[in-house]
Amino acid sequence: MRISEVLGGKGSQDVVTVRPEATVRELLALLAEHNIGAVVVSSDGVALDGIVSERDVVRRLNEDETALDQPVSSIMSAQVHTCERSQPVHDLMVAMTERRIRHVPVVEDGRLVGIVSIGDVVKSRMGELEFERDQLDSYVHTGQS
């Protein structure tokens, strides 16, 4: 299975982004509004400047109570692991596990085209396993006739 299939299974491929100069308070409203755990930081909605997650907010708030009024750029991760639509999901699972990351932007030709979460990966893997189970079940029941 490829990343493109995971994105296709998600339906809408709109990626929620936040501008680097937005405040952390605005970021929190965005996370709550869309019920998501991370947002891609982008100046123009296409280029990838960074990524920021709930964890980033919590860690910064623990250190500094005034973080809510600071720009998102002050807490975002600028080093972002990305993937392409053609990449196998298995490779992404390995990278997510090794790097301990939960959200990976999908980029093609330098443009943001989607985002894959660990939940998306788990859902796709469960779908694969259910398909395999059904195929084996069918094989076993057909062979017993």
Summarize pLDDT for 12-39 with one digit per residue, the tens.
668 899 999 999 999 999 999 999 999 9
> Mean pLDDT over residues 47-59, rounded?
94
Phi-psi region of 17 (alpha: psi -120 to 50; beta: other; left: phi over 0): beta
Q: The tokens of 48 are what?
A: 């990838």
| pTM > 0.85: yes or no | no
Strand, helix or coil for residue 17? strand
Residues 6+ apart with CB under 8 A from 117: 37, 38, 102, 103, 104
In terms of CATH, what superfamily is 7-143? CBS-domain (3.10.580.10)
Domains of the chain, residue spans: 7-143
Cα angle, residue 110 at apex, residues 101 and 25 outer, rounded to 5°: 50
Range of lowest pLDDT (45-49, 80-84, 102-106, 136-140): 136-140
Over the Cα atoms of the chain, what is R_g?
A: 18
Average pLDDT over the chain reads 89
Is the pLDDT reported for residue 51 higher than 70? yes
pLDDT of residue 56: 94
Q: How many CA atoms lie within 13 A of 53 on its CB side?
A: 14
Confidence of residue 97 (pLDDT cuts 50, 70, 90): very high
pLDDT of residue 142: 81
